[in-house]
Amino acid sequence: MAKLTFGTVEENVVTRSEFPLDKALEILKNETIAVIGYGVQGPGQALNLRDNGFNVLVGQREQSKSWDKAVQDGWVEGETLLPIKEACQKATIVMYLLSDAGQIAAWDMVKEQLTAGKLLYFSHGFGVTYSDQTNIIPPNDIDVVLVAPKGSGTSLRRLFVEGKGLNSSYAVYQDATGNATQKALALGIGIGSGYLFETSFKKEVYSDLTGERGVLMGALAGLFEAQYHVLRKNGHSPSEAFNETVEELTQSLMPLVAENGMDWMFANTSTTAQRGALDWKNKFRDLNIPLFETLYDSVATGKEAAIVIDANKKDDYRVGLEQELAEINASELWQAGKTVRELRAN
């Protein structure tokens, strides 16, 4: 296990060079892995494991779009594609990759199949961390681990196909067999992680929920809307407002930041942009720290979990969700984006 040092802080990481695929295959050579759920994370993780040579099944609800997608991806009905209960029965490792709401709904049935010595795998700490609300409490005689790719299942698969890896966190919640850590790392390598960094179930879900509501999605979408609104209000065209708000960020600047860092970006812009960015960075930081503190507290106290769980219990939740998404799609901002994307190649 390697150490990364950030100033005075050290953290444990595992790289593919020190934990090669051959080692992962040896550790899991006698295991049958069932990937339960074929929605967001399921396809990427299942396909990567299969392509890497592991013994993999997919468990999915029959007569669903996800079942049909699994068939299209080459999983064979009755052999490598099974109903959830049957897949869990056959597996020694159950990768529980249903949505948070789906995990709650299926838990009683899945729990019955978790006999002594099996391993239960998550890619999100939600169900276990908020067990007072989800009732997901694993049996004491099984291993419980987490490997959480830091990106979508689509990105995990795309990078794998390109011969690259998506970084993941890992955690051991319960080690009943004494082998939980090695199996967690083997699974992390198997799904195509670039490197693995240590965390806990609680820290994973706290950071994940904060990130989703903050910089990764909620805050980013809100900033897009705010800047676009101000530019349009002051007479700028939709093309100009969208390109200055979204297109330049996503197509030009963020890829360079990902490659070289923000300091490099600041150093390689015009003096006008450089000075403005440095002067306004602190204003945005100081304005948003109190908001992020409120957000983190809402996550840590379980309030955000309760909102998610209660929303998914409503019979008409999907209808309302589709309406909310349709409103975003119909907005001038994202209709402008659709047009701009279509014109990129022309």
Please check whether residue 134 is in contact with residue 104, taking contact to mean a CB–CB distance below 8 angstroms. Answer: yes
Distance CA 334, CA 245 (A): 11
Order of strands across the sheet with 9-15? 2-6, 9-15, 193-198, 166-174, 143-149, 119-122, 93-96, 33-36, 56-59, 81-82
Two tokens at 294? 């409120």
Q: Which one is catalytic: 47, 75, 96, 124?
A: 124
Please check whether residue 250 is in contact with residue 257, taking contact to mean a CB–CB distance below 8 angstroms. Answer: no
The question of whether 236 is a catalytic residue gets the answer no
C-alpha angle with apex 24: 173 to 196, nearest 5 degrees?
55
Nearest in space to 57 (alpha carbons), one of 85, 90, 99? 90
Distance CA 235, CA 28 (A): 61
Distance CA 187, CA 194 (A): 12
Distance CA 70, CA 144 (A): 26
What is the set of active-site residues?
124
